[in-house]
Amino acid sequence: MKSYAKIIFSMLAWGTLPVFVSKIPFSSAEIVMWRIIFGSLFLTAVFMITKSKETDTSCKKPILRLIITGILMGANWVALFESYRCIDVSIATLVYYMAPVIVMVVSVFLFKEHAGFIKICGMAAALAGMFIVTGVNVGGSEPVRGLILSTASAILYASVTLMNKCIKGLSGLEMTLIQLIGAAVVVIPYAIISHDGPWLNLFSEAGLYTVIIGFVHTGIALFFFFSAIQELPAQSVALCSYIDPASALFFAAVFLGESLSPFQIFGAFLILGGAAAGELWGNKLRNSH
């Protein structure tokens, strides 16, 4: 139960992320920069406390690959946060959660994974749902730009997931720390170069929200998530992961006043239900053979 509590906390925290981002009137790159800094500080402290020995030298080869995935992860966060400013958070979230479907499709060709009937149906349902959701009014000030950014963030997140599938020999905490370093290599210089106007005052209300995003949404949530996935079955982790987008839709409706049309709600059901069915029952059916 403690492991389930940890992963549910992480998913609910990430579901509130768009609400906090909407309260910070600074560039997405700057928000991500502080997220990386505070998240790295927390996870480094956890690593120093919980790790009794250095990583085995035989595991140093994937570090360059992790740096690259970190760069992609940083770009993913910037694109996603920027999409929140262009279209409704609920739409951006649903498009972003096409990432599992992208992973499923690419895995068929890249890792030669078997695509069973249920998985194919799940992919088709999710794709149909995306066309339904984005084909109606998506709201926001720049709908086209927002859809491009949220789609780019989904592709980047899928790329990170696929590259991480090939990395062995490191714990989730170690992988995340190295990837945060990779994200910092690109995001921090970009945030400094592109900065315009006053810097974020960490003692202001916006600064408080930024600190919360760094420590709670990045540091604590990632630590809880990685400690939970080591103790729970993969199917349980996959199922719990859909608490994130479901709660994001709920929090966007409650705190941001957003709503989906009945047609878009049907599309949301197809996206989340199709991705979950393909990931859960498709893999379960494959493993039973």
* pLDDT tens digits, 153-176: 999 999 988 887 777 777 778 888
Q: At CB < 8 A and 24+ separation, what contacts does 227-232 make?
A: 227/3, 227/6, 228/3, 228/4, 228/6, 228/7, 228/10, 229/7, 229/172, 230/171, 230/172, 231/3, 232/3, 232/4, 232/7
Q: For 255-281, what is the mean pLDDT?
A: 83
Q: For 9-36, what is the mean pLDDT?
A: 93
Q: For 92-109, what is the mean pLDDT?
A: 85
Cα four-point dihedral sign 282, 284, 285, 287: positive
Q: How far apart are CA 224 and CA 238, in angstroms?
A: 15
Q: How far apart are CA 129 and CA 134, in angstroms?
A: 9
pLDDT at res. 283? 54
pLDDT at res. 288? 44
Tell me the CA distances in angstroms from 231 to 52, 100, 270, 284, one per residue in order: 20, 22, 30, 19
Q: For 207-212, what is the mean pLDDT?
A: 94
pLDDT for 152 beyond 90:
yes
Residue 20, judged by CB atoms within 10 A of its CB (0-12, 13-18, 19+), counts as buried
pLDDT for 127 beyond 50:
yes
pLDDT band at 150 (very low <50, low <70, confident <90, very high): very high
pLDDT at res. 1? 79
pLDDT band at 285 (very low <50, low <70, confident <90, very high): very low
- Which DSSP state fits 57? G
Domain of residue 16, residue span: 2-48+57-287
pLDDT for 54 beyond 60:
no
Q: For 189-204, what is the mean pLDDT?
A: 87
Q: For 231-253, what is the mean pLDDT?
A: 83
User: How many domains in the chain?
Assistant: 1
Q: For 201-224, what is the mean pLDDT?
A: 92
> 74-78, 122-126, 129-133 — which one is most confidently predicted on average?
74-78
pLDDT at res. 284? 54
pLDDT for 276 beyond 60:
yes
pLDDT at res. 272? 86
Kindly report the backbone phi and psi dihedral angles of residue 61, in degrees, each rounded to the nearest multiple of 5, phi listed first.
Answer: -60, -40
Residue 13, judged by CB atoms within 10 A of its CB (0-12, 13-18, 19+), counts as buried
pLDDT band at 212 (very low <50, low <70, confident <90, very high): very high
Spatial contact of 103 and 158, defined as CB atoms under 8 Å apart? yes
pLDDT at res. 172? 76
> 11-25, 110-124, 224-238 — which one is most confidently predicted on average?
11-25
**Across 71-85, 103-117, 152-166, least confident range:** 103-117
Give the residue with greater pLDDT, 115 vs 44. 44
Tokens of 138: 């998506």
